[in-house]
């Protein structure tokens, strides 16, 4: 669609530049432009639920600015309704409500009138800019005693969870996936069911809309969402496994120089989670902790839940890092926290 300062005809899409954004309508005559809501200059104080499709004269529509007429290209002309159909459809919608600035605005309306499908180039441009902004949100929660048995999306994930033979691990897997759905919705305004979530050949779950990482232990779960590759790991540091013997097996010389030769149990857990998160963030197929040097990697490690858990996140977008503690009971709610940093 090209835009020109020419006199519109019946059924043309028109717009007016209001300083960085556009207001759209369907032109029927100089006395009749159908639009979803008045231009902002004429609509101050109107709540979104009161905005409706209405008709005004061209002067009210323009608000003193120049009117632009949309000139469809060849492919668009093939898909458009006739001028008479566009005009009739627009008039029939007068009085309709349900306005939403992101999903059902004045631009969506005119494309629906002309093509039968909603579209908003300026909203899509904003979404693309939003998707390019740095982001690193980590959601942590204590595992509940029970979780909702509602089927997970996609069905392959539900099948994977159902087929897990260990009841405790099955609960962890179901809960962390529900936590992922909450994190995507809250941080990225994405519904899990609207993504292309799929499992790769090596068993890793991915989607094209964002990057994410999951972790769960016997008592806690963590989800990290970002626009860059990310890895997260959470552990109950009191578990017997975090011993000097484990440290001697996994610590690299650079890590020993930083942590010391006889670290505390918490320090061993911190190093382990750092290595786990770095592995998840990278492309390696096999986890070999003794070969993975985290000393120079962008890993943030913190103590959580009063020091009962250790969580590490590895991502290049650490400058945007935010932690949220989530209630285990549905519906979820998140509270920002500033954890004690360990490394």
Q: Per-residue pLDDT tens for 159-215? A: 999 999 999 999 999 999 999 999 999 998 888 998 999 999 888 899 988 999 999
Instruction: Classify 2-129 by CATH class.
Output: alpha beta
Q: Where in the chain is the domain with CATH 3.90.1720.10?
A: 2-129
Nearest to 78 by CA among 41, 116, 110, 46: 116
DSSP state of 240: T
Query: Residue 128 — very low, low, confident or very high, per pLDDT cuts 50/70/90?
Result: low
Distance CA 100, CA 111 (A): 15
Q: Per-residue pLDDT tens for 25-78? A: 999 999 999 999 988 755 566 777 889 999 999 999 998 899 999 999 999 999
Q: Where in the chain is the domain with CATH 3.90.470.20?
A: 133-341
φ, ψ of residue 127 in degrees (nearest 5): -65, -40
Q: Do 16 and 65 form a contact (C-beta atoms < 8 A)? A: yes
Helices 83-92 & 106-115 angle (0-180, nearest 10): 130
User: Would you state the pLDDT for residue 222?
Assistant: 98
User: Would you state the pLDDT for residue 285?
Assistant: 85
Q: Per-residue pLDDT tens for 92-111? A: 999 999 998 878 889 999 99
- The mean predicted confidence, pLDDT, of the chain is 91
Burial class (CB in 10 A: 0-12, 13-18, 19+), 277: buried
pLDDT at 336 over 80: yes
pLDDT at 237 over 90: no
What percent of the chain is predicted at pLDDT more than 70? 95
**CATH 3.40.50.620 matches 133-341:** no
283 contacts: CB under 8 Å, gap ≥ 6: none
**Distance in angstroms between the alpha carbons of the first and the last residue of the chain:** 53
Nearest to 1 by CA among 74, 69, 106, 73: 73
pTM above the 0.85 mark?
Answer: no
User: Would you state the pLDDT for residue 251?
Assistant: 94
Distance CA 101, CA 31 (A): 26
Q: Per-residue pLDDT tens for 137-152? A: 999 999 999 998 889 9
Mean pLDDT of 268-277: 95
Helix/strand/coil (H/E/C) assignment for every residue in 193-220: HHCCCEECCCCCEECCCCEEEEEECCCE
């Amino acid at each position: 669609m090209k835009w020109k300062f020419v006199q519109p005809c019946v059924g043309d899409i028109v717009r007016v530049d209001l300083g960085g954004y556009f207001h759209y309508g369907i032109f029927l005559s100089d006395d009749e432009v159908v639009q979803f809501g008045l231009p902002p200059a004429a609509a101050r104080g109107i709540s979104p639920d009161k905005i409706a499709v209405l008709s005004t004269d061209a002067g009210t529509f323009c608000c003193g600015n120049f009117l632009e007429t949309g000139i469809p290209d060849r492919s668009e002309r093939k898909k458009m309704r006739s001028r008479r159909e566009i005009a009739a459809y627009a008039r029939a919608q007068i009085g309709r409500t349900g306005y939403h600035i992101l999903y059902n605005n004045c631009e969506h309306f005119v494309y629906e009138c002309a093509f039968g499908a909603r579209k908003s180039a300026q909203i899509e441009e904003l979404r693309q800019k939003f998707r390019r902004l740095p982001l690193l949100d980590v959601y942590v929660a204590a595992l509940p005693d029970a979780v909702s048995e509602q089927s997970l999306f996609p069905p392959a994930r539900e099948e994977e969870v159902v087929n897990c033979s260990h009841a405790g691990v099955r609960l962890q897997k179901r809960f962390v996936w529900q936590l992922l759905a909450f994190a995507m919705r809250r941080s990225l305004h994405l519904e899990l069911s609207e993504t292309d979530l799929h499992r790769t050949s090596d068993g890793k779950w991915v989607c094209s809309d964002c990057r994410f990482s999951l972790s769960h232990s016997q008592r806690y779960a963590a989800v990290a969402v970002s626009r860059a590759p990310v890895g997260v790991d959470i552990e109950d540091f009191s578990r017997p496994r975090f011993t000097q013997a484990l440290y001697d097996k996994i610590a690299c010389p650079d890590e020993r120089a930083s942590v010391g030769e006889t670290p505390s149990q918490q320090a061993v857990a911190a190093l382990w989670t750092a290595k786990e998160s770095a592995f998840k963030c990278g492309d390696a197929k096999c986890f070999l902790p003794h070969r993975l040097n985290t000393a120079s990697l962008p890993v943030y490690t913190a103590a959580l839940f009063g020091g009962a858990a250790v969580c590490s996140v590895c991502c290049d977008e650490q400058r945007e890092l935010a932690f949220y503690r989530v209630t285990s009971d549905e519906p979820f709610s998140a509270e920002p926290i500033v954890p004690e940093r360990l490394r």
